[in-house]
Amino acid sequence: MAENPSLKDVAEKWLLSIEVPEVVVDENGNMVSVENTEAIRRQTWDQYESIVHNLIAPDLGALKVKEITTSTCDRFLRSLVKNGKGHTNARLAKTVLKQIMSYAVRHDLYVWGNPVVEVDRLRKPRKKPVGLSESTVMEVREAVRNWGLEPGRFGPRPSSVLADVVDVLLGTGARIGEVLAIRFEDIDLSGDVGKIAITGTLVEPRRGPKYRQDLLKNPGSERIIPVPGFVVDVLVRRIAESPAKNAAGALFWSRRGTYMQASSVRRQLRAALDAAGIENAQLITPHAFRRTVATLLAREVEDKAAASMLGHADLTMTHAAYIERLKEVDDYTAVLGGLAPKPRS
């Protein structure tokens, strides 16, 4: 490499230096094995590459690496936040840029210490988690059940799969990838209460096949969820309707007999909500159902119930990102009674 290469060249060399595990996937879309489990996950590398190509390279890529200063990094990262949006991209870009410059330091391409280390903290305003109201949930259910039945629409009658996915999301509080990774072998209908074991998730890498992996987002978040009757109805019907080509035994199978993908569900959900004319449809995502479940359990049972349902090891994440909190004031009605209007004499 040249003595003073461009930041883009250094970034590409850094990406190539990262060891990415080779995932072996069977014909049913299941991860069979992964070489070098100590390496980062493929989806993490994909995210790094996206940040380099879409954010860092267009703005800083042409600069020589020795021209990169703390003020340069600081200005760039803060430029990613516009109109109160972009904090997540800025945070990820800071992580990636820091690693690129560490690579430059290790290879004697930059000798003044990592300039990203001194960048001021990118403070993200705390976002209040918002669950869906009961009326909105009813609207969404109506929209996904009627999707494709609009007047003037041609083509085959849509199946109930989108409505079924929404029901399972609402009945489990699971992530969309976890729901779509459910197999018949993960379902237990033998007792008085139906149960689903959450043991894997779907991965959609930018390159290579999409697959189900037996690793969840957080270690130790495998769980068995007792499900309500409306979810049991979905399970019984889909087990009965499963085609012979569903070799994966997926609860939500694709036309090819593998797992249905989250990107497909997101597209269908948006189309259904837009067709129904639901207000603020862009805010109603599969993850919104997860927040709705957490909020309901926290209000009606306790916060620990929400954390357990979502597979969180502690309450910190549940409180910060999932439970819509209404502050309850102590009962001061006896005192406030002193302000009651006096009877007229």
Predicted pLDDT at 159: 65
Predicted pLDDT at 123: 78
311: tokens are 């597979």
Residues 315 and 309: their CA atoms lie apart, in Å, by 11
More confident call, 195 vs 2: 195
Q: What is the DSSP letter of 276?
A: H
Residue ranges and CATH numbers for the domains of the chain are 7-118 (1.10.150.130), 134-321 (1.10.443.10)
Helix (H) or strand (E) holding 99: helix 87-106
Q: What confidence tens digit (pLDDT) does each residue in 211-270 have?
A: 898 866 666 678 888 899 999 999 999 999 999 999 999 999 988 888 999 999 999 999
Predicted model pTM: 0.77
Predicted pLDDT at 31: 85
Report yes or no: 185 and 249 within 8 Å, Cβ to Cβ.
Answer: yes
Predicted pLDDT at 266: 94
Report yes or no: 313 and 221 within 8 Å, Cβ to Cβ.
Answer: yes
Which of these, 212, 199, 205, lies nearest to 28 by C-alpha position? 212
Tallying the residues shown for the chain, one arrives at 345
pLDDT above 90 (res 19): no
